[in-house]
Amino acid sequence: MSTDLQVTGSVRRARRARQRRTLAVCAGLLAAALAAFLLSLATGDKSIPLPDLLATLGGGGSRGDEFIVLELRLPRAVTAVGVGAAFGLAGAIFQSLLRNPLASPDVIGISAGASAAAVISIVLLGLSGPAVSLTALAGALTAAVLIYALAWRRGVTGYRLVLIGVGVASALTSTVSYVMTRSETMVAQQAFVWLAGSLNGRSWDQARPLLLALALLIPLTALAARALPALQLGDDTARGLGARTEPSRVALLLCAVALAGVATAAAGPVGFVAFVSAPIARGLLRRQDAALLPAALTGAVVVLLSDYIGQHLLGPHQIPVGVVTSVVGAPYLLWLLATANRVGRGG
């Protein structure tokens, strides 16, 4: 029996070590997000020193600072956090559920659905602002339903879903290209900025609905994610363990699509955050599970930092955040691929 106790002890130790690592990573990411958040609130045409900033946030700042921070910068930073977290979470769910690192909403056609709807509404219908966001959300959901329906044949396999998603994405992307050639330069440019994914001029009008949606979706995702560890073992094993595979999978996919959809509606299809957040989070955790919470935090950090870089560090033009996320995120992923021997396993 003593060996048994020993093993129990080592199992417990291993689990504790893992929990500690998760905790440390999450705390680190949270700290990084907070720092980036404060930095983006403090920086701009008028720099606001940290004590003033904190005072303003606490309700005791000067009137000018209050306007700048609370009305101009805070909604943008809050949107960045929300968008990053939503994309990170959505990507992590897709990738672990479909067991394919390529299966992020940008690759399997959900962002393309949002983009096509948004570009059509900008260019052909002349819409702007919240109306574009709504059509983008509708586009994302429609694309997701379409892809799932087309991939359904007595169940859905990850492989089929990804392939059909890529097909649908490419049809939608070419629609976008076509619409772009059919429009005035000015309008096309506006659409192009939207397509790149941008946080420019985000106000509470965009931030508030995003926060509301996330307040609903994140708890739902946490509930749905309970079956994820079982689902990752393949359908047979998962069912053997008593998971209701099809309802659980649909619930998770719905959550992920809704998350990607509201994020896209708020900021456009910010490239690559969904794709890269989970791999980065797993790299930090040094293990390969779904890593939902760390992925969400990573997404928030990536978007905050990228927006900061795009706004302040790249010369006179405001570069859309989506451009920066890809330029920053992609080399990191390449580096991960080049250094981590084991990433290439299975596939």
Partner 1 sequence: MGIRTETAAPSTRSRPLLAAGLVPAAAALVLAVAASLALGTAHIPLSSVWQALTAYDPGDTQQLIIREVRVPRTVIGVLTGVALGLAGAVMQAVARNPLADPGILGVNAGAALFVVVAINSLGLDTLSGYVWFGFAGALCAFALVYGVSSLGREGATPIKLALAGAATTAALGSITSAIILTSNNAFEQYRFWQVGALTRTEDGLLVQAAPFIAAGAACALLSGRWLNTLSLGDDTARALGQRVGAVRALAACAVVLLCGTATAIAGPIAFVGLVIPHIARAFTGPDYRWILPYSALLAPTLLLTADVVGRLIARPGELQVGIVTAVIGVPPFIALVRRRRTGAL
Partner 2 sequence: MTVQHTLRADALRLTYDRHEVVKGLSLDIPPGKLTMIVGPNACGKSTLLRGLARLLTPASGAVLLDGASIHSRPTREVATTLGILPQTPVAPDGITVTDLVGRGRYPHQGWFRRWSDEDERAVAEALEATDVAELADRSVDELSGGQRQRVWIAMALAQGTDLLLLDEPTTYLDITHQVEVLDLLTDLNTSAGTTVVVVLHDLNLACRYADHLVAMRDGRIVAEGPPAEVVTEQVVSDVFGLRCTLVDDPVSGTPLIVPMGRHHSAK
Q: Are 298 and 233 in contact (CB under 8 A)?
A: no
Q: Of 285 and 304, which has the nearer Cβ to partner 2? A: 285
Tell me which of partner 1, partner 2, none is bound by residue 24, counting a contact when its beta carbon lies within the kind-specific cut-off of 5 to 8 angstroms.
none
Location of structure tokens 């700048």: 68
Structure tokens at 261: 């959809």
> Which of 142, 200, 288, 318 is the binder for partner 2 (CB under 8 A)?
288
> Which of 204, 244, 309, 318 is the binder for partner 2 (CB under 8 A)?
244
220 makes contact with partner 1 (CB under 8 A) = no
Tell me which of partner 2, partner 1, none is bound by residue 23, counting a contact when its beta carbon lies within the kind-specific cut-off of 5 to 8 angstroms.
none
DSSP 62: -
- Which positions from 166 through 205 interact with partner 1, judged by CB under 8 A? 166-168, 170-171, 173-175, 177-178, 180-181, 185, 188-189, 192-193, 196
59 makes contact with partner 2 (CB under 8 A) = no
User: What is the chain's percent helix, strand, coil content, to nearest 5?
Assistant: 80, 0, 20
Nearest C-alpha neighbor of 114 from the set 197, 54, 41, 43? 197
CA angle, residues 88, 198, 324, in degrees to nearest 5: 70
Per-residue binder mask for partner 1 (CB under 8 A), 239-268, x = binder? ------------------------------
The Cα 307–Cα 145 span in angstroms is 31
Q: Of 52 and 235, which has the nearer Cβ to partner 2? A: 235
- Cα end-to-end distance, the chain, whole Å: 41
Alpha helices by DSSP H, listed for 98-157, are 110-119, 130-151
Q: Of 12 and 208, which has the nearer Cβ to partner 2? A: 12
Segment interacting with partner 1, rule: CB under 8 A, options 12-20, 67-75, 76-84, 164-172: 164-172
Question: Please, what sign has the CA dihedral across residues 173, 176, 182, 186?
Answer: negative
Report the 10 Å Cβ neighbour count for 127.
16
Chain residues in the site for partner 1 (CB under 8 A): 101-102, 106-107, 150-151, 153, 157, 159-160, 162-164, 166-168, 170-171, 173-175, 177-178, 180-181, 185, 188-189, 192-193, 196, 236, 271-272, 275-276, 314, 317, 319-320, 322-327, 329-331, 333-334, 337-341, 343-347
